[in-house]
Structure 1
Amino acid sequence: MMNPEMSENSLYPIAVLLDELKHDDLALRLNAIRRLSTIAQALGPERTRNELIPFLDEAAEDEDEILLAIAEELGNFVDNVGGPEYATVLLHPLGNLASVEETVVREKAVASLNHIGTVLSPAQLESDFIPLLKRLHSAEWFTNRASAAGLFAVAYARVNPALQAEMRQAYGQLCQDPTPMVRRVAAARLSEFVRQLQPEFLIEAAVPYFNCLSVDDQDSVRLLTVEPLVTISSALTTEQVGEFLLAAFRALAVDKSWRVRYMVADKFVELTRVMAPHVAKEEVVAMFVSFLKDGEAEVRTIICSQIPGFCELVGREDVLEKIYPHLKELVSDPAQPVRSAFATHVSGLAPLFEKEATHQYLLPLFLRLLKDDFSEVRLNIISRLDKVNAVIGIELLSDQLLPAIMELAEDKQWRVRLAIIEYIPLLAKQLGVAFFDEQLTHLCMSWLGDRVFSIREAATRNLKNLTDVFGAEWAKGTIIPKILGLANHPNYLYRMTTIFALTTIVPSVTPEVIRASILPAIESLVTDDIPNIRFNVAKSIEALAPVLQRDPELRPLVPAQIVPALTTLTQDPDQDVRYYAQRALQTVQNPVS
């Protein structure tokens, strides 16, 4: 419903908005822009088109923050102006914003224009959108031409063949523009434009675009041609790839700029797949090795992400003979990011190597990485050992790596200890109860007293997960007695952890264990000297209430034991304890059905 004030004075919303936009306070002006949709709804579509949009069109000289907000809002304004039929009214203000000097404003305006372009009819594209594109393309100032490069793809497929021919020619001009910034945008947008081209124009148009940009004298342009190289190659036949694009691939792979080589390395597996029929295996292996040995650490880092995929393409025998010697060098690479990336991806080789070769070639690398000086390297190798376990089995893995894992369980970096905790259930499932009890139970309990809360919290979840693996009877005889022993520990953190651990493990144990062991332990802490312990007892009981109410065997304990304990806490001298106790009491007395 329209605001009465608005009906009395039709200019009221515009006047208010004008005042706020001219206010010295930037935050107030931004708030006005964020209310455009509300104002448009009050005005209605016709007045929005006739009054609000022209007003915004005149506001193109404001601060960049304001212009950015306008560009963003107008992209979602189609419904406010009356739907797609009237959406062309938004093109002019957005076209002006696509011409400003600030890059982020232009990019947002182009994004909004593309969004609007998707709802325009072919007739609207030809009558309004294409003229805007031509105006930007032919403008003297380079910012306009840069914006134009981002508008071709959305319109091309839905205009007539004559306009398509003009657009192909115009895009080619942008690829040769005298301003590097325009050529950069043309390179960055080339893939999306190529996807709209008809197959018969790929050789005629797309390949020349690419070849022109791939030899640009600016490395900031050349590095953006790697993605289009993949896109164009995927759309051509293998013979066409070999004839028109192979030379460019070879040149980019050895480009003098490390940033270009970085982009090639990042897409190396994709590029190898499309180039493979025309490039000898020895050549692509040599390229790959050159990236592994590149003088720039950034290139060596990114090529590590390609190791599993590329080695799968090449095959195990060639990997062991020609690539593995260079992989071994990455373990001791002087750059820590390289070792970290290698640790992340090297385990992906295990399925290719299979059991025997993984044990012989990969495990020595893992052991060295587990002893790396940087915690991130150790963390990355630990968190991906499940891939290795799937290949060689936990018994062999534990024999080789368990000592290193035990050492890392006490690592000074808490994130490393956390990764070990998260890996424990997998170990447990494969090792079996006897081996686990002998080797790892003490370790799991020690984490409950860790100085870092996140570790103690993870340790309680770990105990529940172990109970799910080994069963409630195992928990009853093995870990619950150890947890209960912490309830009388002199350090209050251990007593606090007791509450968390018992509360977490409840869903995985039997009603008998809850009645005989868990509830008495929690109730014993009702009179603890530390207020934090007491209010966590109340929070624990509140969390357990649904379990108690749901089970017929446990339900009688609520009035007999739980309510009296909470009643005691509601009279506690500490305000926080009383608050949580009252909330818990309300929960247990008024269960949700």
Structure 2
Amino acid sequence: MASGDIQSDESLYPIAVLIDELRNEDVQLRLNSIKKLSTIALALGVERTRSELIPFLTDTIYDEDEVLLALAEQLGTFTQLVGGESYVHVLLPPLESLAQVEETIVRDKAVESLRILAPQHSTTDLETYFVPTVKRLAQGDWFTSRTSASGLISVCYSRVSNHVKGELRQLFKSLCQDDTPMVRRAAASKLGEFAKVVEPEYLRQELVSLFTNLANDEQDSVRLLAIEAGISMANLFRHEDLEQQMMQTLRTATEDKSWRVRYVVADKLVELQKAVGPEITKNDLVTSYCALLKDPEAEVRAAAASKLKDFSTHLPADTREQMIMSQILPCVKDMVGDMNQHVKSALASVIMGLSPLLGKDNTLEHLLPLFLSQLKDDYPEVRLNIISNLDCINEVIGVRQLSQSLLPAIVELASDAKWRVRLGIIEYMPLLAGQLGPEFFDEKLSSLCMSWLTDHVFAIREAATNNLKKLVEKFGRDWAQSTVIPKVIQLARDQNYLYRMTCLFAVNALAESCGQDITQRMMLPTVVTLASDPVANVRFNVAKTLQRIYPALDQNALALHVKPCLEKLCQDSDHDVQHFASEALEKIPSIRNSYR
């Protein structure tokens, strides 16, 4: 039917409108029209959607990429709009066309939609319609169609007859051996997925050789995808078959001339370790892992370093300690002084995980010097990663040993020039405090915690107030009354208004933990005094503080101190102070009615 005939027939109006919009020069208008396809399909009904709309869309794939992308996505959701799963095959022609276009993201979206539609076909329709579509794509003249076919074979393989399965395996083999690297790359990326649906005998007879060839491809982009697929395939083999058929290829990959391939091995090594089992790990993978830790490329060393804890944890339990001490730890010691900050940072984030595996004596003798060295590293992220994982080592060597060995370094880091390092120390402090106890903490670290309240960085001051709250919850109200509150109150007399505001923030954080008596007797008078502060920011924070801490006050304190203070602030010369004071009066239930 010609487009002129469609437009002249009022009954076909939705398609006529669609044609006009798709011919419009405005890309956004064309895109919007594609996004309305489901509405148009509903208006047409399932029969006319099948007989008119879908054929029209099949002929309309020459457009901007974003329009085609939207079309490819829409068609994946069209099953019910064409009459349900019995008619899902009518959606294949436009998606087949879209799976051949030049733009990768459009092809990928078309393949994604086809993969969604494949399970919706009956077994008969799968062989009648879907498989022929896959064959045409796999045998297409342009590499674009052949790359798309790679992602479709596995989704239909398990439901077709044995004869068709043989044809599909042959198609996949031809894709793996294609002259175009992009096609081989696509096939390599789907090899692991295809291996999971292929029968065991064909896995060994056919797919292993495909893996070996792809893993030795001249293009490193093909090899790295093949290695990733091979590691996925390893889970499908018995250990004795794995050693005979795949391990030599995977071993060779750790020495590949391309660092990208070696990086994939390092990144996926723990997955391979779990698949191959303890014997192959002990005989092969430990040596390979050590080679990756010494790799000339920093990216590979960093990837390998990040797997240290997981790889070591999954070593055979009977020989774990011996293998770590004799083979892995020497490499780790070298990496502590690595020239690349990303390698050292990756190592610092996991090295503490060796402590539980090696025990107290080995930790004290071999690991502790490494931790101390990393705590003094030039790069703040290295120091921060060590600080963040101190609890791992504490469980092994105990808090007293930890404090004697690491406390000087922690104190030094507390005044580190990088504020994020100081922040890391603050966040670790409650854990350390709980382990040290109040007496030791007061002697060694209390003054340090209070000094953070006057840090020049707001984030540190804010974290310091939250830190005090956690410390009070650990050590109790008596400790707060004698150690913390006097120093907080002292901030109210500081010359710097920012520190006077920090005093208020600390009161906000501490009121609930300290309870009614301490809040009313020690902190409330200071808050009320600051209502006369010369700086407006301090005064309106007084109003916000009173609103925050009122649940910790009794009716008498609210009537005698809080209400008069807020009423005074409502008359303040600063509009912000007036606003927050009025808001506080409105929000405090027991004084709200009397204020009105």
In structure 1, distance between residues paired with 2:558 and 2:41: 57
Query: Is residue 340 of structure 2 the alignment partner of residue 335 of structure 1?
Result: yes
Deviates more, 1:401-410 or 1:470-479: 470-479
C-alpha separation in 2, matches of 1:28 and 1:428: 63
Question: Distance between the aligned counterparts of 1:50 and 1:162, measured in 2?
Answer: 33
- Matched with 1:394 is 399
Distance in 2 separating the partners of 1:97 and 1:436: 68
1:292 aligns with 2:284: no
Query: Could you tell me how far 1:90 is from its partner in structure 2?
Result: 3.5
Alignment-mate amino acid for residue 396 of structure 2? V
CA distance in 2, matches of 1:454, 1:268: 39
Q: 1:469 aligns with which of 470, 474, 483?
A: 474
1:217 match:
218
CA distance in 2, matches of 1:35, 1:565: 61
Q: Is the 8 A contact 2:139 2:146 kept in 1?
A: yes
Which residue does 1:584 correspond to in 2? 584
Q: 1:368 to 1:160 in 2, by over 3 A?
A: same
CA separation of 1:243 and 1:495: change in aligned 2, threshold 3 A: same
Residue 257 of structure 1 deviates from its aligned partner by 1.5
Residue 502 (structure 2) pairs with residue 502 (structure 1): no
Deviation, structure 1 residue 200: 3.2
1:297-342 CA-to-partner distances (Å, cap 9, x unmatched) read 1111111122223334151123222332222111111112111111
User: What's the Cα RMSD here?
Assistant: 2.9
Q: 2:412: which partner in 1? A: 407
Aligned residue in 2 for 1:347? 352
Conservation of the 8 A alpha-carbon contact between 1:307 and 1:345: yes
Say whether the 8 Å CA contact 2:563–2:591 is kept in structure 1.
Answer: no
Shift of 1:261: 1.4
Identity of aligned residues (%): 49
1:454-512 Cα shifts (integer Å, max 9, x gaps): 22221121111112211222222221221122122221211222222221223322122
Partner of 2:102: 101
Q: Secondary structure at the match of 1:509?
A: helix
**Cα distance in structure 1, aligned partners of 2:251 and 2:67:** 46
Distance in 1 between residues matched to 2:112 and 2:469, nearest whole Å? 49
* Separation in structure 2 between the aligned mates of residue 573 and residue 51 of structure 1, nearest angstrom: 74
CA distance, structure 2, for counterparts of residue 95 and residue 416 of structure 1? 55
CA distance in 1, matches of 2:484, 2:44: 68
- Residue in structure 1 matched with residue 362 of structure 2 by the alignment: 357
Kindly provide the CA deviation profile for residues 205-250 of structure 1, in whole angstroms up to 9, marking residues without a partner as x.
3312212211111111111122222222211111211211122122
1:508-536: CA deviation from partner (whole Å, max 9, x where unpaired): 22122232233333333333333322333
Instruction: Flag the 1:479–1:33 CA change in 2: closer, same or farther, 3 A.
Output: farther
**CA–CA separation in structure 2 for the residues paired with 1:38 and 1:543:** 52
Q: State the one-letter code of the partner of 2:405.
A: Q
Range moving further from structure 2, 432-441 or 282-291: 282-291
- Any conservation in 2 of the 1:246–1:275 contact (CA below 8 Å)? no
Measure, in 2, the Cα distance between the counterparts of 1:399 and 1:241.
50
User: Secondary structure at the residue paired with 1:525?
Assistant: helix
Give the equivalent residue in structure 1 for 2:498: 493
Shift of 1:203: 0.9
CA distance in 1, matches of 2:591, 2:74: 47
Give the drift of 1:38. Answer: 5.9
Q: Distance in 2 between matches of 1:80 and 1:567?
A: 66
The CA deviation string for residues 4-59 of structure 1, in whole angstroms up to 9 with x for no partner, is: xxxxx876665666555555554555455555556666766666656655555444
Q: Which moved more, 1:108-117 or 1:385-394?
A: 108-117
Q: Alpha carbons of 1:514 and 1:237: their partners in 2 closer, same or farther (altered >3 Å)?
A: same
1:513 aligns with 2:518: yes
Q: Partner letter of residue 290 of structure 2?
A: V
1:217 is paired with a residue of what secondary structure?
A: coil
CA distance in 2: counterparts of 1:557 and 1:283, whole angstroms: 74
Q: Distance in 2 between the 1:282 and 1:120 partners? A: 48
Letter in 2 for 1:572: D
Q: Counterpart in 2 of 1:135?
A: 136
Which residue identity does 2:469 align to in structure 1?
K
Compared with structure 1, are the counterparts of its residues 389 and 42 closer, same or farther at alpha carbon in structure 2 (3 Å cutoff)? farther
In structure 1, what residue type is equivalent to 2:581? A
Q: Secondary structure at the match of 1:320?
A: helix
- Structure 1, residues 426-479: CA drift from partner, whole Å, max 9, x if none? 100100001111111111122122222222221121111112211222222221
Q: Aligned in 2, Cα 1:168/1:443: closer, same or farther, shift over 3 Å? A: same
Unaligned runs of 5+ residues in structure 2 are: 1-9
Q: Which moved more, 1:530-539 or 1:502-511?
A: 530-539
Structure 1, 559-568 or 250-259: larger mean CA deviation: 559-568
Partner residue in 1 for 2:262: 261
Alignment of 1:4-403 (within 5 A): 21-27=22-28, 29-34=30-35, 36=37, 53=54, 56-78=57-79, 83-275=84-276, 279=280, 281=282, 283-312=284-313, 313=315, 315-403=320-408
One-letter amino acid of the counterpart of residue 342, structure 1: L
Structure 2 CA distance for aligned equivalents of residues 20 and 375 of structure 1: 57
Of 536-545 and 191-200, more deviation after overlay is shown by 536-545
**Does structure 1 conserve the Cα–Cα contact (< 8 Å) formed by 2:306 and 2:350?**
yes
Specify whether residues 561 and 284 from structure 1 end up closer, same or farther in structure 2 by C-alpha distance, changes over 3 A only.
Answer: same
Per the normalisation by structure 2, the TM-score is: 0.89
Counterpart-to-counterpart distance in 1, 2:80 and 2:524 = 59
Query: Conserved in 2, the CA contact under 8 Å of 1:558 and 1:588?
Result: no
Q: Give deviations 1:277-307, integer Å, cap 9, x for gaps.
A: 6648464433222222211111111111222
- The CA distance in 2 between the partners of 1:568 and 1:84, in whole Å, is 74
Using a 3 Å threshold, how does the CA distance of structure 1 residues 369 and 512 change in structure 2: closer, same or farther?
same
1:157, CA displacement in angstroms?
2.2
Residues 346-405 of structure 1: per-residue CA shift (max 9 Å, x gap): 111111111110011001001111111111111111111111111111211111111111
> TM-score of the superposition, structure 1-length normalised?
0.89
State whether residues 344 and 380 of structure 1, in contact with CA within 8 Å, keep that contact through their aligned partners in structure 2: yes
Aligned to 1:5: none
Name 2:574's counterpart in structure 1.
574
8 Å Cα contact 1:331-1:369 kept in structure 2: yes
Contact 2:308 2:350 in 1 (8 A): yes
Shift of the 435–43 alpha-carbon distance from structure 1 to 2, 3 Å rule, reads farther
Change (3 A) 1:28 1:571: farther
Q: Is the contact between residue 372 and residue 409 of structure 2 (CA under 8 Å) also seen in structure 1?
A: yes
Q: Which amino acid aligns with 2:130?
A: F
Amino acid in the other structure paired with 2:248:
A
Query: Residue 496 and residue 158 in structure 1: after superposition, are their counterparts in 2 closer, same or farther (change >3 A)?
Result: farther
Q: Which runs of 5+ in 1 are unaligned?
A: 1-8
Decide whether aligned partners of structure 1 residues 143 and 423 sit closer, same or farther in structure 2, where only a CA change above 3 A counts.
same
**Which deviates more from structure 2 when the two are superposed, residues 209-218 or residues 155-164?**
155-164
Q: 2: CA distance between counterparts of 1:506 and 1:22?
A: 68
After alignment, is 385-394 or 65-74 more displaced?
65-74
Amino acid at match of 1:215: N
Amino acid at match of 1:565: C
CA distance in 1, matches of 2:556, 2:352: 53
Change (3 A) 1:357 1:116: same
